[in-house]
Structure 1
Amino acid sequence: MHDIRSIRENPQDFDAGLARRGLDPLAQALIALDEARRAATTEVQVAQSRRNEASKLIGAAMAKGDRDGAEAIKAEVAALKEQMPALEARAEELAGKLKELLEVIPNLPGADVPDGGGEEDNVEVSRWGTLRDFDFQPREHADIAPALGMDFETGTRLSGARFTFLRGGMARLHRALGQFMLDVQTGEHGYAECNPPVLVGDDAMYGTDKLPKFAEDSFETHVSMQEMIDKLASDGIEQFKQDAAKELSFNSAGFNAQLYQTLRESMVGQAKAKFKSRGSTRRWLIPTSEVSLTASVMGELLDEAALPMRLTALTLCFRSEAGAAGRDTRGFIRQHQFEKCELVSIVRPEESEAEHQRMVRAAETILERLALPYRKLLLCTGDMGFGARKTYDLEVWLPGQGAYREISSCSNTGDFQARRMNTRYRVAGEKKTEFVHTLNGSGLAVGRTLVAVIENYQNADGSVTVPDALLPYMGGITRLEPLA
């Protein structure tokens, strides 16, 4: 979320940042809307102040015996009371419009982010590893893996396209990768392991910039209000029957249709009140545990001594892939359900750039321990995510495809998410508070790492050798062999 005060003070810089994102100027429109909002708020405050002042004057006029004056003031107070709802509604409407506009504007890119229109303008920073020289034609994982336990057909039959059922050694290798990632990130890079919810509410999604812009890319769940109301009403009626039979010797045969309808109407009213008191029943399946981990400090005022805060989790993630129609439909690269070892850092503003480099290094470590060749890219302005001010992507080499493919994305969001979440820290020895900076990255995406292992460690006979780093997790399995 952007700070409207900063936009008022630096409109040209704001528009320049938007231009680098390929967007039209918005500063003047935002400032004009904010001025109208502030004017409407001032009107409300002036009316409230006059109403309070006039209410006191009524008593003073009455004490002096000035009935006419008191009646005139009463009339003024009554008029102000009539005007207040409209004034307040106007102020709320303008505040809502300003918020709606601000919340869909992407973060501004950092000064060192290269300009560009898309992935073709990303800048390669470095490469690591030697590409394996195969003495046979390497195949894609989608051709090798089914015989090893990557069952696309069953996954599709159970849940539809882009779901996969893993069996035997393939499932074990997938689990080993996640465990290995967690052990390295917690044991060597100082991330605290967490086990967060994978169902979260609107606030968590909004605070981590996934709502409202990316609602269609996420899976949304609901409890049916009518179903819940019907159940609560039925439960209430049944309890009434039991109480009546016990305490009043009321024969259920006398529970006629008219009495039932009257009682049901009463119970439905009570059920609706209960349902409303429970708040929203909408929950979102997390697209990444960045949401749960980052939002764990939502609304908090942190002590400076608690920073930097480094969190990691290995969780299921869910994405509808609404914006990726037709891409990677074959194989295990782009799934609706997948696992990821997520890295999240919450730091002071002056630490965020160094923390970004540290996070990228933590992700690189996993690839290097697995001896998977990769390259590091600095994303251009046209390819960065909505909430990022700077992003590095790691792309792993897939010999079956003969291409580098994304396996980790590490982003510094600055205070963009912190403003949406209202997460601050208190500077030691001072009264002032500041917004924290938040960072997130994959350390790594487990499914895509599995794909990389399959393609880089494949053998001519269709088997796959287990990387040395994973042997302690495999219970003696050193090679995945085609299943009988």
Structure 2
Amino acid sequence: MHDIRAIRDNPAAFDLDLQRRGLAPLSGELLALDDARKAAVSAAQANQERRNALAKEIGAAKKAKDEARAREFMEEVARLKAEAPELETQQGEAAKILDARLAAIPNRPNPDVPEGADEHGNVEYRRFEPTHPWLEKGRQHFEIGEASGLMDFEAAARLSGSRFVVLKGQLARLERALGQFMLDLHTSEHGYTEVAPPILVRDEAMFGTAQLPKFRDDQFAAGDGYWLIPTAEVPLTNLVREAILAEDELPLRFTALTPCFRAEAGAAGRDTRGMLRQHQFNKVELVSITAPEKSAEEHERMLACAEAVLKALELPFRVMTLCTGDMGFASQKTYDIEVWMPGQETYREISSCSVCGDFQARRMNARFRPKEGKGVQFVHTLNGSGVAVGRALIAVMENYQNPDGSVTIPSALQPYMGGLTRIEAPAAKDAAKDPAKDAAKEGTKS
């Protein structure tokens, strides 16, 4: 949500920022709407002030026993009272129109965000390559998973339709291990507080983080005013809605592992095979609430926390600074972490870390009281994936695949897998336990 006062103070700067986003100038339209709101407020105030003044006049007229004049004043009061509800309605409607227009405009990009129309304008920030040799090409995750019998898209389609998957056996355990490993890392080493939030939220929470109203078609409505969360960013960030925090409480850092639900309305025909783009997926989310002067520093810190997951798993990745045409609606600046996928022979996004400034805080009315100075200020909010569990599973499967169809488990995950060092197809494990082979071995021993 934008501050109309800031727009009025410097409309040219606002329009320039929108131009960097590929939008036409809007300050003139917004200021006209604000003028209409101010006029409606003034009319309502003038009505009330005149009634207050008339009340004194009526008292004076009655004291002077001037009944005719008192009656004249009372008639005017009655007329003003009759007009008041319409003036209040006009005031409310004018404010609602302005707020709705402001809510539909994306955040202003930071000055250091590169300009560009789409993902081709993104700029590489840094990259990480593990010390051990890593695959440049290989089979895709769904080929490995289906061949092992542990990844079943057909069963999922019978249950729920396209863009779902059923994981079984050790692949299901590996996905669980990834989420638990990430939570342990962020809580024990990075200072985040684990939260188990609701995954059903109301309109107000979705509006607060800017999923509504603009991205309504991308969400799953659950009925009765509830929505399935597209990311734990929604409940975690809204933990501070309608709150006034003390500056000493900041920063707040939250993390959660939740299922996430997205309609993928704009992804028709994209990534239809495999697990890359699902309606339901698990993700570890990171959210920070900070004072304004600390948000840029916190953004770099959050990025480093997300990177630490992939470094521990020894997965090759690169970090991209998103350009103005590719960054999200609520973001001032975004880093995307892209992990190497040998099956596709390309990098794919696995984490997106964004600083939103006070954009979401204004929508949530989330504020803090500075230690020095008077009044309150809006907090700054940040969010990032720490990381997407399903995509981490894909990256592990493709980067740690073996020629025999098995998948080596990264050492960081082995304690979460009961010491298991590799995932093999059930057929291969059954062959290893073949009774005929065991009998032959016994005969050889005798």
One fold, TM greater than 0.5? yes
Q: Does 1:343 align with 2:344?
A: no
Q: Does 1:357 align with 2:296?
A: no
Aligned position for 2:63: 63
Q: In 2, distance between residues paired with 1:409 and 1:476?
A: 31
Aligned position for 2:173: 172
After the TM superposition, which residues 288-437 of structure 1 pair with which residues of structure 2 at under 5 Å, given as runs?
A: 288-437=231-380
Q: In 2, distance between residues paired with 1:147 and 1:53?
A: 85
What SS does the corresponding residue of 1:410 show, helix, strand or coil? strand
What letter is aligned with 2:220?
F
After the TM superposition, which residues 101-180 of structure 1 pair with which residues of structure 2 at under 5 Å, given as runs?
A: 101-130=101-130, 132=133, 138-148=138-148, 149-180=150-181
Q: In 2, distance between residues paired with 1:215 and 1:319?
A: 10
Q: In 1, distance between residues paired with 2:401 and 2:74?
A: 88
With over 3 angstroms needed to count, the CA separation of the structure-2 counterparts of 1:175 and 1:358, relative to structure 1, is same
Q: In 1, distance between residues paired with 2:203 and 2:135?
A: 49
What SS does the corresponding residue of 2:240 show, helix, strand or coil? coil
Residues 62-93 of structure 1 show CA distances to partners (whole Å, capped at 9, x for unaligned) of: 23221111110111011111211222222222
Contact 1:151 1:164 in 2 (8 A): yes
Aligned position for 1:39: 39
Aligned position for 2:434: none
Answer with 100-109 or 61-70: which moved more.
Answer: 61-70
Q: In 2, distance between residues paired with 1:75 and 1:367?
A: 76
Q: In 2, distance between residues paired with 1:163 and 1:81?
A: 60
Q: In 2, distance between residues paired with 1:5 and 1:466?
A: 55
Q: TM-score, normalised by structure 1?
A: 0.86
Q: 1:458 aligns with which of 377, 401, 404?
A: 401
Give the Å deviation of 1:132.
4.2
What SS does the corresponding residue of 1:324 show, helix, strand or coil? coil
What SS does the corresponding residue of 1:169 show, helix, strand or coil? helix
Aligned position for 1:274: none
What letter is aligned with 2:20?
R
Q: 1:478 aligns with which of 418, 421, 439?
A: 421
What SS does the corresponding residue of 1:469 show, helix, strand or coil? coil
Stretches of structure 2 lacking an aligned partner (at least 5 in a row): 428-446
Contact 1:295 1:421 in 2 (8 A): yes
What letter is aligned with 2:379?
V
Q: In 1, distance between residues paired with 2:383 and 2:255?
A: 10
Aligned position for 1:183: 184
Contact 2:197 2:256 in 1 (8 A): yes
Q: In 1, distance between residues paired with 2:305 and 2:163?
A: 29
Stretches of structure 1 lacking an aligned partner (at least 5 in a row): 223-280
Q: TM-score, normalised by structure 2?
A: 0.93
Q: 2:382 aligns with which of 439, 443, 450?
A: 439
Give the Å deviation of 1:429.
3.9
Contact 1:150 1:167 in 2 (8 A): yes
Answer with 359-368 or 81-90: which moved more.
Answer: 81-90
Q: In 2, distance between residues paired with 1:460 and 1:312?
A: 37
Give the Å deviation of 1:476.
2.9
Aligned position for 2:436: none
What letter is aligned with 2:409?
V
What letter is aligned with 2:95?
A
| RMSD (CA atoms) | 1.3
Q: In 2, distance between residues paired with 1:8 and 1:134?
A: 55
Q: In 1, distance between residues paired with 2:220 and 2:133?
A: 39
Q: In 2, distance between residues paired with 1:179 and 1:370?
A: 13
Q: In 2, distance between residues paired with 1:311 and 1:441?
A: 11
Aligned position for 1:25: 25
Q: In 2, distance between residues paired with 1:188 and 1:153?
A: 40
Q: In 2, distance between residues paired with 1:282 and 1:373?
A: 42
Residues 375-431 of structure 1 show CA distances to partners (whole Å, capped at 9, x for unaligned) of: 010000000000000000000000011000000000000111111111111011432
Q: In 2, distance between residues paired with 1:83 and 1:432?
A: 36
Q: In 2, distance between residues paired with 1:215 and 1:361?
A: 32
Q: In 1, distance between residues paired with 2:316 and 2:52?
A: 72
Contact 1:123 1:379 in 2 (8 A): yes
Q: In 2, distance between residues paired with 1:2 and 1:80?
A: 35
Contact 2:135 2:399 in 1 (8 A): no
Contact 1:217 1:321 in 2 (8 A): yes
What letter is aligned with 1:448?
R
Give the Å deviation of 1:134.
5.1
Q: In 2, distance between residues paired with 1:157 and 1:190?
A: 42
Q: In 1, distance between residues paired with 2:99 and 2:135?
A: 56
